Structure 1
């Protein structure tokens, strides 16, 4: 079944889902497999939303993929279908990897409680952890998607109680886009083209970016070459990361007979006697929802008015890598019905380079030895390798006023440039001249001259670099502890001694690249209960209305548990919305 455009065959459904990212497609898939008639409405002309533009990681502890990789024991340690216990197998795999004991639900629970705290109701955290493994199993059964552990991609706070340096993230195995048929042309493109033009996984990216420094980089390049050649010879259209995740979910929807209607924005919600009963879309068309509506249309990162109202300056819509259709329509629709919202001041932040061709989310660039970040005073203010949400929180600093450490610059030397990939550019490859003309980058033979070009005090920058170079020699960052966390090392350089995250800046010329508070999307949204039902300020339920993904307030609160902690909860609460709707259908009542 191809993606539908215009008016569908039906004006009435059991469930109407608004949004075609991971949350919306998981909700629709689960509802369809419960026997419900579902339609997915997508505002944009392509499906997949921010999910398709993302790294595609899924953070759901103790799922079956982690258990199979020996990274988790799971709840069920009884005999599996093969007659053996999961726990001994997991311990065997852990022994092979030289890691600690497998993860357990209690450890994951301790971790989220430690890093999220009471910002989010405990029942939401508990529900996510309890039901999450079920969602991974469901998706692997009901779609062609297969997931794999991302080796050693650490939790973002591995030293916190319950944290894991080995990580809890899984990602899609490269997916053959031919399975989508004609719908492949309607897939939202990634926010940035893959380096070397070959689809790469998150695990590939780590080593590929160390191509000039580590043998595993060259080996990974050979793997990618083999993947490309195999695809060419077999005619496969290999997709990875968020592209693979969105394509796999869409294939599952097609196989389940669920239509996805593009160019169908949410204009308004229909209510009867206080209950949401449908959606108004383009041209005033009304699609009735017998059981309810699931809002999964992303956040408000592309809405200038909402960002200015709820978030701190400097802020804007041009620094996000979220999908262009994410203008907060679903959140606004919920607010009109009296819904409560939370976390509207926050986002899935990340230090971002505002390149002339669009923003670059600086995931690895900050962690390589030989770079540091300074503010307008020419001083460091954060561990540059910190998790990206925490790094931008530091850029803004405490309080409600304008960001304390913005403008921000990433400063590095020629040795850094010779060794590492940078925004997809290969080692030694010159930075484009247009960056310098646009004021995104600066270059000088001395730190004194560089400071003048970026407008920071010359003495301060020279002192900052000299002090940092001393830390690089000893391997101990006395100011901000860079390199103390296992997470810091994931994108570090294992051949750099004594600390994979610290290296001196002493080889001219020197560079500075502007850093802004970019994001993957906003965190704030409609308040929900463990069934993903939307709540009012008094805690009462808006009957017939559900929310998931970035349309709902993040279950991670103001922090970020690990790679994929956006998409993992999005899928889980989309699934739970469908489960509750199906339960309503079975009982014939409202719960």
Structure 2
């Protein structure tokens, strides 16, 4: 018989969106809940993210009169994810995701809004939606958290005081020099920032507003969070999980969970040994934008007690640059803005640059060879692009720091031929690549990779550029080049779960009492990224599913929707 230092009903390991959702639903079902967190901050990778949730057939879509349904969403997942993950898992997600957001909207401080127009990543496939299915949490004043605010995980790159913007505002800000909507958004964000500074409002958006709203909801329910308490062991008795061991204040603390343990502690983003073991080369944990505390501890602990893993070779990839003395820069809109391309080491384009970020890095790895490296690839732009669009943290016409050039992060030349030499490419090949691309820009049709055909490509395109908002010629010197590595928002492989979020063994049997959600698990999305929020949406949904299963289905009814 194990001697326990602490006992609770439900034990949540990790404090991202999935863990917090599980904790809240379990607590409101009348269960005693404890959350433990490895790092000194709560929020996990969710707090570092854009905070989007991909929720098909959600109540806000219905309220806006948009045509979506369970069947339509099922068709879409079949056309994107396919049979890479079990149908039962996909159905559990699709059936519970809209219920999860209604539950939170009616029973917590979480308030959702649509990321309007943010298309599914494959909107032209059967069941896809160009209007998009993404939600985000509404902005929030972090000051309401009181003494808990400083423990909210900060962004990797801290914005100036008071500055924050939503997913939709970020899209419009990208068009600050092109559209009146872009200019108006910049003015609105600027005025709001000044107001926030003068009044002391801690204005939160994106992933941090989602976590802050969940944290305030947990505070109302008196759910404790033990920070600086990493998991060391999963305790199994008679084949069932009965608790865990954590390290707290230099001591091993044995915690019994009478009803269940939920692993919600993220992936192995920053475990170089695990990445080299499971993933294609070249790979580097320093390229990841995931939570620095995510080193796969709970995945390894789950494997140690017989848990099965899957999708370990994959991640939520995205083309990423690495500025000097700064965090890695995950590039989204930059690849759709007209007038920039990505090329391999031979100076040739190899994919639709404006495709979803996972799709682009999959292409980088699939085509990578020792003879012609694609990891890293190189992003090429001209001065028209640089002066018109945001690139990383650089706003249009903003001076490029000298350190970008001296470190080799940025290369600059007055001719394409000279730029090619600086990049170690054949100058004729790069010149021919750009000449061909420029022809596509003038015709409006990318004959090689169909860039700009999809509604997703055009979401970040420039509507003032005709005939294709994602294509403009690269012809105005000076020209710039930036290396793009295979970065990510986190890994997507982990412990395999069933439709109730229970951990499975290699033989398919259930580890009773042990649940897993988020990047701690093998993603329900398989090798695909169906739409914005395909990481956090499933994480929170399976957190809801896990808590509901632990509570025997007896959870709080949904309150009045805002």
Structure 2 length as normaliser, TM-score? 0.95
Q: 1:196 to 1:66 in 2, by over 3 A?
A: farther
CA distance in 1 between counterparts of 2:361 and 2:190 reads: 36
CA distance in 1 between counterparts of 2:376 and 2:142 reads: 41
The alpha carbon displacement at 1:404 in A equals 4.8
- The 8 Å contact of residues 161 and 197 in structure 2, kept in 1 or not, is answered as no
5 Å matches for 1:436-475? 436-475=405-444
Q: Which residue of 2 aligns with 1:210?
A: 175
CA distance in 2 between counterparts of 1:310 and 1:49 reads: 23
Match of 1:331 among 299, 303, 306: 299
The alpha carbon displacement at 1:106 in A equals 1.4
1:358 paired with 2:353, answer no
1:33 paired with 2:1, answer no
CA offsets per residue over residues 169-219 of structure 1, 9 Å max, x none? 011110111221110000001223347961100000001111111111111
- The 8 Å contact of residues 497 and 503 in structure 2, kept in 1 or not, is answered as yes
CA distance in 2 between counterparts of 1:501 and 1:358 reads: 27
Q: Which residue of 2 aligns with 1:279?
A: 244
Q: Which residue of 1 aligns with 2:49?
A: 54
Match of 1:107 among 72, 75, 87: 72
Q: Which residue of 2 aligns with 1:45?
A: 40
- Secondary structure of 1:434's match? helix
- Secondary structure of 2:34's match? strand
Q: Which residue of 2 aligns with 1:383?
A: 352
Q: Which residue of 1 aligns with 2:477?
A: 508
The alpha carbon displacement at 1:232 in A equals 4.5
1:298 paired with 2:266, answer yes
Q: Which residue of 2 aligns with 1:225?
A: 190
Q: Which residue of 2 aligns with 1:489?
A: 458
CA offsets per residue over residues 223-267 of structure 1, 9 Å max, x none? 213433443465432100001011111111111111011000011
Q: 1:403 to 1:345 in 2, by over 3 A?
A: farther
Q: Which residue of 1 aligns with 2:234?
A: 269
Q: Which residue of 1 aligns with 2:509?
A: 540
Q: 1:121 to 1:403 in 2, by over 3 A?
A: farther
Q: Which residue of 2 aligns with 1:171?
A: 136
- Secondary structure of 1:284's match? strand
Match of 1:120 among 85, 105, 109: 85
The alpha carbon displacement at 1:401 in A equals 8.6
CA distance in 2 between counterparts of 1:403 and 1:203 reads: 38
CA distance in 1 between counterparts of 2:119 and 2:261 reads: 36
CA distance in 1 between counterparts of 2:160 and 2:437 reads: 31
- The 8 Å contact of residues 150 and 170 in structure 1, kept in 2 or not, is answered as yes
- Secondary structure of 2:101's match? helix
The alpha carbon displacement at 1:69 in A equals 2.9
CA distance in 1 between counterparts of 2:492 and 2:257 reads: 27
CA distance in 1 between counterparts of 2:41 and 2:224 reads: 13
Query: For the aligned residues, what is the CA RMSD?
Result: 1.8
CA distance in 1 between counterparts of 2:318 and 2:31 reads: 39
Match of 1:527 among 475, 481, 496: 496
Q: Which residue of 1 aligns with 2:277?
A: 309
- The 8 Å contact of residues 17 and 38 in structure 1, kept in 2 or not, is answered as yes
CA distance in 2 between counterparts of 1:417 and 1:237 reads: 32
Matched residue pairs, number? Answer: 548
Match of 2:64 among 55, 59, 69: 69
- The 8 Å contact of residues 416 and 427 in structure 2, kept in 1 or not, is answered as yes
Q: 1:211 to 1:585 in 2, by over 3 A?
A: closer
Deviates more, 1:216-225 or 1:317-326: 216-225
CA distance in 1 between counterparts of 2:372 and 2:23 reads: 40
Deviates more, 1:141-150 or 1:356-365: 141-150
CA offsets per residue over residues 124-161 of structure 1, 9 Å max, x none? 11110001111001111222121111110000000110
CA offsets per residue over residues 58-95 of structure 1, 9 Å max, x none? 11111122222333xxxxxxxxxxxxxxxxxxxxxxxx
Q: Which residue of 2 aligns with 1:259?
A: 224
Q: Which residue of 1 aligns with 2:310?
A: 342
Structure 1 length as normaliser, TM-score? 0.90
The alpha carbon displacement at 1:403 in A equals 8.8
- The 8 Å contact of residues 358 and 528 in structure 2, kept in 1 or not, is answered as yes
User: Structure 2: which 5+ residue stretches go unaligned?
Assistant: 556-562
Q: 1:69 to 1:585 in 2, by over 3 A?
A: closer
The alpha carbon displacement at 1:398 in A equals 5.8
The alpha carbon displacement at 1:36 in A equals 0.6
The alpha carbon displacement at 1:432 in A equals 1.7
Q: Which residue of 2 aligns with 1:4?
A: none
